[in-house]
Amino acid sequence: MIEEANLITGPGGQQSLLRRVTRFYYDGFRRMTVGRTMWKIILLKLFIMFGVLKLFFFPDFLATEFSSDQERAGHVLEEITTRSVLNQ
């Protein structure tokens, strides 16, 4: 154990901050039991919020309003330049 501690120490025998933070999270995630289930639930909720709901509530405005890439690019350019001029 002493040899391992010497490998992760910086000058003066003290561990670097990055190494301590990394070790803290590594040990914490390795020993989790209930936390793994909670992380799975969190990731599932994020997938539902950003993946599934986007399909139903946020249609592709440019694809529905304009038929070609040239028209879409023109609209975006117009919006960007008009708004930047109005904000000055």
pTM of the model: 0.42
Structure tokens at 17: 């901050």
Q: What is the mean pLDDT of residues 49-59?
A: 83
Rounded to an integer, what distance in angstroms lies between the CA atom of residue 26 and that of residue 64? 47
- 13: confidence class by pLDDT, cuts 50, 70, 90: low
Is the per-residue pLDDT at 14 higher than 60?
yes
Q: Are 8 and 15 in contact (CB under 8 A)?
A: yes
Per-residue tokens: 58: 């946020």
Six-digit token pair at 38?
């909670």
Q: Is residue 20 part of a domain?
A: no
Average pLDDT estimate for 4-25: 73
Domain count across the chain: 1
- Print the domain residue range for 83: 59-88
Residue 67 domain-assigned (yes or no): yes
pLDDT at 8 over 70: no
